[in-house]
A and B are shown apart, each in its own frame.
Chain A
């Protein structure tokens, strides 16, 4: 990759291929997987700005994901507001929530931010259950009728296939990657990392700590909100556990832990590992493969047990992965690859 022309050319080729992919692949399942991948990347990148760069480990990002998703869906369902407009209302709501959290939590050190971030997400989840008039409570909001997307009078798409979602997801993922790149290569990125590494030292070097933490929080929350809006509209349904539950927060964080926090490509790597793995578990692909390979008999007790339970096991897998990564790869896959690379370099010398 020493050639300076190679990198941008390779990048443009990959982008072009990604953009054109739906022309060649028409399996809805493959597109669905790609869309999940894009969403996961967007979630991971968003969390990464606050957690990876600024070192403020939010375990409550479901709050922003959920508020974004709910705002967009409620506006679409009750007021017929197009989701690409409603999503911005979601961003506004989330910014308010984030600033409120920031002003409470960032004056405190240590574990308090983590605790408060969870508490806020829980308050919102419980509120969504209880405010039945507004959110339809535990039943959630079902809204699948999207207005056609027009520019001027031309209808660009009427959302009858997964392709427009694919492109929207791709755009969102690229936007979050680009924004993270911009953060990393700016004063903001340096200041956030300085805060992460040593808050007192950073403060003494002229960095207004609270202001920068709040900037990171609002940026991170706003992007997470967009990912939430996208999720709601794509699935056509939101309810409290699926967009506001603690699992959601953990999963968002996990993308970065596995890939590598505070790195540009960490969330991408993490998504590439997590999304296929959990989808394979969820859809019983693994059991089917085992049956096909003759390892287990489909009608035996083990086979039935696997079929019954493996689809619930993806969260167990999250847990096992977190434990393994923290114990053996605390800097995630990116850190692991870097270590490998530097070892190879040393051996070459």
Chain B
């Protein structure tokens, strides 16, 4: 039972970070109807940014979120304005291909700069744990990252629900044309959404950097996970992505313990295919007539 609680709990904690990644992807999809295949690579950029800040300026990875978030926001806005914007009305496959291409450029540029070596960011607390009781322990960095995730998510919900800009973003996500007719600057919303999505992915990158290997190709796996999360939650749904992220975190953590860590990603992808097969609108979405 302790083993179960243990892995369940760490599943929830890592799921929080997954939720952040998924929310970023789903925001971008909601507002622009574009699936960002470079999402994981943006996360990778966030990881290296954190790494650089840590090794050169000795800024703690969790503190560096304050820098990573705005920088990644600008980076995402730049990507949208210079590249994505030009294919907003192109056929879907060109949008997909463009984001794949941008992802490849990001990961391979990182390889040129940092080589393909695995980097480890070791903080004083990287491997420390906390007793929760009942023989269950949790990793300290995971716990801190979950707390920050929760704060960021709460702030994001507040932004989307309570501010005018946030509501404009949601209106654009619901119906782009109607939003345009209502006088919302849809182009600006797209830049904002891509910026926000990237900032969230970058933040997630910062948060996991004390516990994950950092290498140029790390993004691919996260892109796939982000897809699974958003499809699971219903594409475009922020709440769905939040729950989907946590669900994936738990699934992964439990299958690592009860099946094997080599198969945990397979379990996630199989789950994904099953959802596609039986509930393509997502677990949270309305079922189709």
- A114 CA to B37 CA, complexed, in Å: 11
Specify the chain A residue showing the minimal Cβ separation from B38: A319
The answer to whether B53 has its CB under 8 Å from any CB of chain A is no
B35 / chain A contacts, CB cutoff of 8 Å: 111, 114-115
* Other-chain contact of A330, B92, B94, B100, B269 (Cβ < 8 Å): B94
Given contacts A105-B276, A126-B263, contact A319 B87 (CB under 8 A): no
Interface positions, chain B 251-289, Cβ under 8 Å from A, are: 260, 262-263, 265-266, 269-270, 272-273, 276-277, 280
A320 near B266 with CB under 8 A, answer no
Chain A residue numbers with a CB within 8 Å of B262 are 126, 129-130
Q: Tell yes or no: A246 within 8 A of B by CB.
A: yes
Shortest distance between the CB of A245 and any CB in chain B (Å): 9
A127 CB within 8 Å of chain B: yes
In Å, the complex CA distance between A303 and B265 comes to 41
Please tell me if the beta carbons of A115 and B265 are within 8 angstroms of each other in the complex: no
Write out the residue numbers on chain B whose beta carbons fall within 8 Å of the beta carbon of A119: 224, 227-228, 269, 272-273
| Docked CA distance A107–B90 (Å) | 23
Interface string of A39-53 (1 = CB under 8 A from B): 000000000000100
> Is the CB of A265 closer than 8 A to any CB of chain B?
no
Q: Is B104 an interface residue (CB 8 A)?
A: yes
> In angstroms, how far is the closest chain A Cβ from the Cβ of B113?
9
A130 to B263, Cβ gap below 8 A?
A: yes
Give B184-238 interface residues, CB cut-off 8 Å to A: 220, 224, 227-228, 231
Contact with B along A112-128 (1 / 0, CB 8 A): 10111011101100110
A116 with B263: CB separation less than 8 A: no
Residue of B nearest to A114 (CB): B96
The closest CB in chain A to the CB of B101 belongs to A322
- Chain A, interface size category, equals 35 or more
Minimal Cβ-Cβ distance residue in B for A115: B227
Chain A binding site: helix, strand, loop or mixed by DSSP? Answer: helix
Would you call B108 and A319 a contact (CB within 8 A)? Answer: yes
Choose among A120, A312, A319 the residue that contacts B102 (Cβ–Cβ < 8 A).
A319
B residues within 8 A CB of A107? 280
Question: How distant is the Cα of A318 from the Cα of B277 in the complex, in angstroms?
Answer: 33
| Complex interface bits, B5-47 against A, C-beta within 8 A gives 1, otherwise 0 | 0000000000000000000000000000001010000000000
A35 at the interface (CB under 8 A from B): no
Contacts of B107 in A (CB 8 A): 315, 319
B158 cross-chain contacts in A, Cβ below 8 A: none
B131 within 8 A of A: no
Contacts A59-B100, A313-B112, A326-B98 given; does A112 touch B280 at CB 8 Å:
yes
| Residue of B98, B224, B265 touching A327 (CB-CB under 8 A) | B98
B86 interfacial by beta-carbon distance below 8 Å? yes
Smallest distance from the beta carbon of B51 to chain A beta carbons, Å? Answer: 19
Cα A264 to Cα B31 with chains together (Å): 37
Tell yes or no: A14 within 8 A of B by CB: no
Q: Which residue of B lies closest to A309 (CB)?
A: B112
Measured CA separation A59–B107 after assembly (Å)? 18
With a CB–CB cut-off of 8 A, which chain B residues contact A257? Answer: 97
Q: Which of B105, B111, B116, B228 has the most chain A CB within a 10 Å cutoff?
A: B105
- Residues of A contacting B124 in the complex (Cβ-Cβ under 8 angstroms): none
- Return the contact of B266 from the options A118, A127, A246, A253 (Cβ within 8 A): A127
Residue pair B83, A323 in contact (C-beta under 8 Å): yes
Q: How far is the CB of B146 from chain A (nearest CB, A)?
A: 27
Q: Which A residues are CB-close (under 8 A) to B269?
A: 119-120, 122-123, 126
Which residues on the B side are within 8 Å of A77 (C-beta)? none
Q: What sequence of 0s and 1s flags, for each residue 247-258 of chain A, a beta carbon within 8 Å of any chain B beta carbon?
A: 000100100010
A130: chain B residues within 8 A (beta carbon): 260, 262-263, 266
The answer to whether B112 and A312 touch across the interface, beta carbons within 8 angstroms, is: yes
In chain B between 107 and 128, which residues have their CB closer than 8 angstroms to a CB of chain A? 107-109, 111-112, 115-116
Report if B103 contacts A (CB, 8 A): yes
Bound Cα distance from A118 to B273, whole angstroms: 11
Question: Could you mark each residue 170-182 of chain B with 1 if its beta carbon is under 8 Å from any beta carbon of chain A, else 0?
Answer: 0000000000000
Q: Give the chain A neighbours of B220 by CB distance below 8 A.
A: 246
Q: A327 contacts which chain B residues (CB < 8 A)?
A: 83, 86-87, 98
In contact, B96 and A57 (Cβ under 8 angstroms)? yes
Cβ of A313: which chain B residues have Cβ within 8 Å of it? 108, 112
Which residues of chain B come closer than 8 Å to A250, judged between CB atoms? 100, 104
Contacts of B270 in A (CB 8 A): 123
Q: Any chain B CB within 8 A of the CB of A104?
A: yes
Docked CA distance A330–B272 (Å):
31
CB-defined contacts of A108 to chain B, threshold 8 Å? 276, 280
> CB distance B265 to A319 under 8 Å?
no
Query: Does A110 reach chain B (CB closer than 8 Å)?
Result: yes
Please state if A126 and B265 are interface contacts (CB–CB under 8 Å): yes
What would 30 A/B residue contacts be, using CB atoms closer than 8 Å?
Answer: A55-B93, A57-B96, A57-B97, A59-B37, A107-B280, A110-B92, A111-B92, A115-B227, A119-B224, A119-B228, A119-B269, A119-B272, A119-B273, A126-B266, A126-B269, A129-B262, A130-B263, A246-B220, A312-B108, A313-B108, A315-B107, A315-B108, A316-B104, A319-B101, A319-B108, A320-B101, A326-B94, A326-B97, A326-B101, A327-B87
8 nearest A-B pairs in the assembled complex, by CB-CB distance: A319-B104, A322-B101, A316-B108, A319-B105, A323-B101, A57-B93, A130-B262, A119-B269
Known: A127-B266, A320-B105. 9 other contacts (CB 8 A): A59-B96, A104-B277, A110-B92, A119-B224, A119-B269, A122-B269, A123-B269, A130-B262, A257-B97
User: B residues touching A (Cβ–Cβ < 8 Å)?
Assistant: 35, 37, 83, 86-87, 90, 92-94, 96-98, 100-109, 111-112, 115-116, 220, 224, 227-228, 231, 260, 262-263, 265-266, 269-270, 272-273, 276-277, 280
